[in-house]
Every structure is written in C-alpha cells, then in structure tokens.
Amino acid sequence: MGKEQDNFDSSSVRFGVHKDATIPEHIEPSIQQALQNLEEGLLELPRNQPEYVRQILDKARQAQQDAGQPLSSPEIVALYASGCLKSPLDTMMQKMYAAGHHDLFNMAWDLSFGVGRVISRVYMAVTEIRGESAQQLDLLYLSRPSGQEDTSESIENYLHSLSEYTESAQLLISDPTGYTLVAKTVEDSRDEAITNSAMTKYIVQGAEMAQRLYMAVYPLTEQPPSTSSHSISE
C-alpha cells in the first residue's frame, strides 16, 4: 500500500462508517476453520520443534542485549507473539481494507486488538516494575502544547492506564512467568464482552489465541536449573 500504509489509521476505519459490518453467518464456519488452522500452525512449532523456537527466542534476546535493551522472558514471549500472531493479523487487516471487505477487516482488527491486549499488559507490567511507567503515561496523556489544558477525559484515561500498569506489575511480580497476568487479561476481556457491546467475540478470541501461544512458548525461555532466573531484569 506504499505511503498509504504508513498513514493507515486502522482504529478510525474500524469505528467509521462501516463499523457495523459483520461476518455473514453462512461463512462463519469457514472463518473459524481458517483461524483454527492458523493457531494450530503456530502451536505446532513449539510443540514439535522446540529447539528451533528456542533459537529464535535466544537470538531475539541476544539482539536486544547487544542493543543495550535486555528483555525479560515475558517480554521475549510477547515479542514472539507480536511477530508470529499479531503481525499476520495486521497484514490481513490492511489487505481486507484495500479490497473493500469491511466485514473481514473488522474481524481482523478485533482479533489483532485482542492479541494486542495480552501483549500490552505484559509490556505494561515490565515498564511499571522498571519504574518507567510514569514517564510514558505523562507523555501519552498529560503532555499538551503550550496553552492547551488537560481535559477531564485525558485525566480519566491517565488514571485508568495507571491502574492497569499497577495491577499488571503486581500480577507479574506474584507470578514471574506471566501466566496469571495473561489469564487475567483474557478474563477481563470476557467480562467486558458481557457488558460492552463494542467488545466483540473476535476480541476475546484474539486474547485467547494469544494466551495459548504464550503458554506454549514461555517454557522454552527457561534456562537449565543451574542458571535459571525469573528476575524481571534477566
């Protein structure tokens, strides 16, 4: 899509004029089968070729280490999920938009958003533990051009995000594998889907897919007992 892709605002498109476009019932089974095939393919690697996946994780860890940005095991798995699961969904989203398939675009956006929620909560937790969340939140919500006041909405969003950072960090500290944090994120998505009509089943499905991938890959980040470390600074 060239320069169009660089300026592609998927959120505006998702909640624009075609926001209510949905998948017709008669093709829903085919869609679910395609998603199942995608997930099975992703889960097959850590199950059947664990050493290959471990090499990918180790190379990613080393690359970040060499760049002066060491990553914890939860971050490495989140990075893996982003590249293997979220990125293909984002590509599909852009292709469906370009082809004018608004129903499939909405589905891909929702799936990607669900995956992204899990990934984001992991990054939130680590950022908070490292003491870097306040700076990020200030830049995101409270930094305004000179003379422009903060709105009540921006402050409300700031406080909500601050709560998410804090809760995420607490969950990761209590369970350094990140399993509890990821499970809580999926649980939150399911609960929100009951009370919020904008929280579609595909967002929940995306979060669930990310959870299964996370749990399949994380064990491959663990070192032998003699060198094992679950420290967030590892």
CB 120 within 8 A of CB 101: no
Predicted pLDDT of residue 230: 42
As given in the structure block, the two tokens for residue 104 are: 């499939």
Predicted pLDDT of residue 5: 47
Predicted pLDDT of residue 149: 55
Predicted pLDDT of residue 159: 82
Predicted pLDDT of residue 38: 93
- Three-state DSSP string of 88-113: HHHHHHHHHHHHCCHHHHHHHHHHHH
> pLDDT by residue (tens digit) across 160-203?
888 999 999 999 999 999 999 999 999 999 999 888 776 789 99
If you write DSSP's letter for every residue of the chain in order, what string do you get? Answer: -THHHHT--HHHHHTSTTTT----GGGHHHHHHHHHHHHHHHHHHHHH-HHHHHHHHHHHHHHHHHTT----HHHHHHHHHIIIIIHHHHHHHHHHHHHT-HHHHHHHHHHHHHHHHHHHHHHHHHHHHTT-HHHHHIIIII---TTPPPPHHHHHHHHHHHHHHHHHHHHHHH-TTSHHHHHHHHHHHHHHHHH-TTS-HHHHHHHHHHHHHHHHHGGGGPPPTTT----TT-
- CA-only gyration radius of the chain, Å: 19
Predicted pLDDT of residue 148: 55
Predicted pLDDT of residue 142: 63
d(CA 74, CA 44): 20
Predicted pLDDT of residue 151: 65
> Which amino acid, 160?
H
pLDDT in tens, the chain (234 residues): 444 444 568 888 888 878 888 899 999 999 999 999 999 999 999 999 999 999 999 999 999 999 988 899 999 999 999 999 999 999 999 999 999 999 999 999 999 999 999 999 999 999 999 998 887 877 776 665 554 555 677 778 778 888 999 999 999 999 999 999 999 999 999 999 888 776 789 999 999 999 999 999 999 998 543 333 444 444
If you write DSSP's letter for every residue of 147-181 in order, what string do you get? Answer: TPPPPHHHHHHHHHHHHHHHHHHHHHHH-TTSHHH
pTM of the model: 0.84
Which backbone phi and psi does 212 adopt, to 5 degrees? -65, -40
As given in the structure block, the two tokens for residue 225 are: 């007992």
As given in the structure block, the two tokens for residue 76 are: 């490495």
Q: Exposed, middle or buried by CB within 10 Å (0-12, 13-18, 19+), for 143?
A: exposed
Q: Which of 229, 226, 214 is nearest to 114 (CA)?
A: 214
